[in-house]
Amino acid sequence: MPNLPAKAVSLTALPPLSLYIHFPWCEKKCPYCDFNSHQVKDGVGKSGFDEKRYIKALIADLETELPNIWGRQVHSIFIGGGTPSLLSPEGMDELLSAVRARVNLEPNAEITMEANPGSIEADKFAAFAKCGINRVSIGVQSFQDEQLKALGRIHNGEEAKRAIQIALDNFKSVNLDLMYGLPNQSLEAAKADIETALSFKTPHLSLYNLTLEPNTYFASFPPKLPNEDDIDAIFEQNLDLLTKAGYQRYEVSAYAKKDQECKHNLNYWRFGDYIGIGAGAHGKISFPNKITRQVRERHPETYMAAMESKGNALIESREIDPKDLPFEFMLNTLRLSDGVDTNTFSERTGLPLNVISKPIDEACKKGLLDENPSKLMATDQGLRYLNNLQELFLS
Q: How confident is the model at residue 46 (pLDDT cuts 50, 70, 90)?
A: low
Of the pLDDT bands very low, low, confident and very high (cuts 50, 70, 90), residue 118 is confident
Domain 322-395: which CATH class?
Answer: mainly alpha
In whole angstroms, give the CA distance from residue 181 to residue 187.
Answer: 9
pLDDT tens per residue across span 203-223: 999 999 999 899 898 989 999
Q: What is the mean pLDDT of the chain?
A: 94
Measured distance CA(298)–CA(79) in Å, rounded = 16
- So what's the pLDDT on residue 126? 95
| pLDDT of the residue at 47 | 59
Residue 36's pLDDT is 87
The DSSP 8-state label assigned to residue 384 in this structure reads H
Neighbouring-strand partners of residue 375: 341
Check residue 114 and give its pLDDT.
97
Q: What is the pLDDT of residues 255-272, one digit of tens each?
A: 999 999 999 999 999 999
48-88: per-residue pLDDT in tens?
799 999 999 999 999 999 999 999 999 999 999 999 999 99
- How confident is the model at residue 45, as a pLDDT? 46
Phi, psi angles (nearest 5°) of residue 112: -105, 140
Cα(4)–Cα(72) distance, rounded to whole angstroms?
Answer: 29
| pLDDT value of position 7 | 55
The gap between the terminal CA atoms of the chain, to the nearest Å, is 7
Q: Judge whether residue 2 has pLDDT over 90.
A: no
- pLDDT tens digit string along 336-395? 999 999 999 999 999 999 999 999 999 999 999 999 999 999 999 999 999 999 999 997
**Arithmetic mean of pLDDT, 281-308:** 97
Q: How confident is the model at residue 43 (pLDDT cuts 50, 70, 90)?
A: very low
Phi/psi for 345 (5° steps) reads: -60, -50
What is the full DSSP assignment across 292-333? Answer: EEEEE-SSHHHHHHHHHHHS--EEEEEEPPGGGHHHHHHHHH
**Domain spans in the chain, listed from the N-terminal domain onward:** 17-267, 322-395
- Cα 170 vs. chain centroid, distance in angstroms? 22
In order of 92, 139, 203, 208, 282, the CA distances from 257 in angstroms are 29, 19, 5, 18, 29
pLDDT per residue as tens digits for the range 132-147: 999 999 999 999 999 9
Distance CA 357, CA 362 (A): 9
Q: Is 175 helix (H, G, I), strand (E, B) or coil?
A: strand
Which is higher by pLDDT, 35 or 162?
Answer: 162
Q: Would you place residue 4 in the very low, low, confident or very high pLDDT band (cuts 50, 70, 90)?
A: low
pTM > 0.75: yes or no? yes
Report residue 6 CA to chain centroid gap: 32
The predicted structure's pLDDT at residue 300: 96
Q: What DSSP character marks residue 151?
A: T
C-alpha count within 13 angstroms, C-beta hemisphere, residue 8: 21
- What pLDDT band is residue 276 in, cutting at 50, 70 and 90? very high
pLDDT band at 109 (very low <50, low <70, confident <90, very high): very high
CA atoms of 46 and 335, how far apart (whole Å): 41
Position 303 confidence tier, pLDDT thresholds 50, 70, 90: very high
What average pLDDT score do residues 124-133 get? 96
Would you place residue 29 in the very low, low, confident or very high pLDDT band (cuts 50, 70, 90)?
confident
CATH node for 17-267: 3.20.20.70
Dihedrals φ, ψ of 275, to 5°?
-80, 135
Please give the Cα distance from 241 to 198 (Å, whole number): 9
Rounded to 5, what percent of the chain is helix, strand, coil? 40, 25, 35
Q: What is the largest CA-CA distance in the chain?
A: 61
Cα–Cα distance measured from residue 114 to residue 128, given in angstroms and rounded to the nearest whole number: 12
